[in-house]
Structure 1
Amino acid sequence: MILCCGESLIDMVPENGMYRPLPGGSVYNTAIALGRLGAQTSYLWPLSQDAFGDMLRGPLEEAGVDLSLSPSSHRPTTLALVFLNNGNATYSFYDDGTAGRMFESAALPALPEELGALFIGGISLIQDPCGGAVEEIAHRASESGKVVSVDLNIRPGLVNDERAIRERYSRLLHIADIVKISDEDAAWLFPDAAPGDTAARLLDLGPKLILRTHGSDGSTAIHASGSFNHPARKVEVADTIGAGDTFNAGILTSLAETGSLSKDGLDAITEEYIRAALELAARAAAITVSRPGANPPWRRELD
């Protein structure tokens, strides 16, 4: 089972001069995509009792995601105003005192016995107290011998204490097994390094598999056994909301299906399995960007 721990929110997406509320959040989107792709998935994050909280629960339940670990909260749901420029999305977040933002380590449940991998990332790593809770569960998973997958998905505009956040990322990168990093993430995390050098620096920290995404130029997987490039699928882009989140789900689903989603499995992973994971991720992400909002595909849409 893959446990996703991280933010859910409502994306206020521009539409005909107005804003349309849509369920979203980086880790939330990945959980939805995993469920739709057929992976056994659980989600951990406080969900509000307000109407937006109900809006968030619906797609998770429809995708077969287990919500038994997600507490119900009287606090409001986080909102994100989306701004689109030629299909590329930027965000302004409103989350002071919200259900997710106020998630604390003391509220963490015990790790499920059937846990195989933990997925974390997004703005939930930047804000506190929720960032401390996510880091804590990552350490617990790592100490239990489970795979920890991190999508950095850094939002520099939300970083108030850069030193503290850099220290958190450093601690997480030392326990992570899979790390997804965009070109923008790499530039922020390693401002003194050439883009091509960042993967090697990350591998030196301990991760077994590094995933670099390059937008329309595709993606690259870097492993101790080599570097493997994969092109993006050519589609008419509606917007990029949820593209990276779907990519994460494609990678994790494929690794689980080939028996590679374990520490030993990642050590011994073959080029065939790495390329299969990149292909599923690319196919799924292409469908997501071809339609508005974070709307990842069901597995049947890939057959």
Structure 2
Amino acid sequence: MIVSCGEALIDFLPVKDTGGNDAYRPVVGGSPYNVALTIGRLGVPAGFLGGVSTDFFGDMLAAELERSKVALDYVERSGRPSTLAFVSLAHDEPAYAFFDENSAERLDDPATRPLGPEVEALHFGSISLIPPPIGDRLEALMAAERGRRVISYDPNVRPSLITDGAAFRARVERMAAMADIVKISGADLEWLYPGVPVAETAARWRAAGAGLVVVTRGGKGVIAFAADGSVESPIVPVTVADTVGAGDSFTGGLLARLSELGHLTVGSVRATPLAALQTALDFANRVAAITCSRPGADPPWRHELG
């Protein structure tokens, strides 16, 4: 089972009402949550680890996990409120405004739910790694499980939430060094290290302890850096509805395909042959393309990929 750790929240997406006025539509979301949905819908055993409210938004989140074949074994339901995120699509990249003070996600404690032997990989990322106490707790979980299970990490930078850039970059450095797979966008790398070439950062991270480093570059496709060299995968052309959740769908597709190929294990993931990595990247790009073709973070089911 691949377990995605972090936030589950409600995205409020901009829409027009019947009178043509600006309005918002609530949909389930959260980067790690979207990764879990993607893996489950692709038919690979998936789980989610995080805090989910017992309010009606939390019920929406739990119901969609179940519908998408994601196990709730490591979900903690509580009476704290759900995290809410308002999304702006006015520019090339989605912008977010988050409301999560004292939320079920932010105050969750993963240590209360020990992981079972069925968990082969853990994925971490996004806004749950910024605020205390959840950011510290998730980093501690990653450190405790390093070497025992495959560790996947996507910083998924949200600049509007980062009040201490130096502390955030330090956490990125620590977590990247512990990860077997680091997936990150070119835009996030530019925010973290302005003007530094992608290959230079990938080499530095790998020297510090990271395994595979996978960089999504929008229309330029994806490049992955591995022990045997690098490999690239072009984007899949599609009519784009929006890009909400595209990176999460890519990550879920990558992890699911590596699992199917037998390379998502502690003993083999860092030595994944370039040919197998190419196959996984191409598959993940197809998954992300389908997500981009429809509004919101709505990853595809396995039958949609043929």
Q: TM-score, normalised by structure 1?
A: 0.96
1:179 counterpart (177, 182, 204): 182
User: Aligned pair count?
Assistant: 301
> Match for residue 161 of structure 1?
164
1:43 counterpart (26, 33, 48): 48
Q: Tell whether the 8 Å contact from 1:88 to 1:239 is kept in structure 2 after alignment.
A: no
- Between the aligned partners of 1:39 and 1:132, the Cα distance in structure 2 is 29
Q: Deviations over 1:1-39 (max 9, x none)?
A: 111111111000011011000000000000000000111
> Match for residue 71 of structure 1?
76
Alpha-carbon distance change, 87 to 155 in structure 1, aligned in 2, over 3 angstroms: closer
- Between the aligned partners of 2:12 and 2:87, the Cα distance in structure 1 is 6
Matched, 1:103 2:98: no
In the TM superposition, residue 292 of structure 1 has moved relative to its aligned partner by: 0.2
> Match for residue 133 of structure 2?
129
> Match for residue 19 of structure 2?
none
Identity %: 44
> Match for residue 290 of structure 2?
287
Q: Tell whether the 8 Å contact from 1:87 to 1:238 is kept in structure 2 after alignment.
A: no
- Between the aligned partners of 1:132 and 1:286, the Cα distance in structure 2 is 33
Q: Which runs of 5+ in 1 are unaligned?
A: none
- Between the aligned partners of 1:228 and 1:94, the Cα distance in structure 2 is 39
- Between the aligned partners of 1:195 and 1:231, the Cα distance in structure 2 is 17
Q: Give the letter aligned to residue 77 of structure 2.
A: S
Q: Which runs of 4+ in 1 moved over 3 A?
A: none
In the TM superposition, residue 206 of structure 1 has moved relative to its aligned partner by: 1.3
Matched, 1:246 2:286: no
Q: TM-score, normalised by structure 2?
A: 0.95
Q: Which runs of 5+ in 2 are unaligned?
A: 17-21
In the TM superposition, residue 267 of structure 1 has moved relative to its aligned partner by: 3.2
Alpha-carbon distance change, 46 to 277 in structure 1, aligned in 2, over 3 angstroms: same
> Match for residue 25 of structure 1?
30
SS of residue paired to 2:254: helix
Q: Give the letter aligned to residue 67 of structure 1.
A: L
In the TM superposition, residue 87 of structure 1 has moved relative to its aligned partner by: 6.0
- Between the aligned partners of 2:173 and 2:241, the Cα distance in structure 1 is 35
Q: Give the letter aligned to residue 133 of structure 2.
A: P
CA-atom RMSD in angstroms: 1.4
2:192 counterpart (166, 189, 193): 189
> Match for residue 3 of structure 1?
3
> Match for residue 12 of structure 1?
12
Matched, 1:138 2:142: yes
- Between the aligned partners of 1:141 and 1:239, the Cα distance in structure 2 is 35
2:98 counterpart (84, 89, 93): 93
Q: Give the letter aligned to residue 222 of structure 1.
A: F
Q: Tell which deviates more after alignment, 197-206 or 92-101.
A: 197-206
In the TM superposition, residue 86 of structure 1 has moved relative to its aligned partner by: 5.2
Q: Give the letter aligned to residue 73 of structure 1.
A: S
Q: Tell whether the 8 Å contact from 1:104 to 1:132 is kept in structure 2 after alignment.
A: no
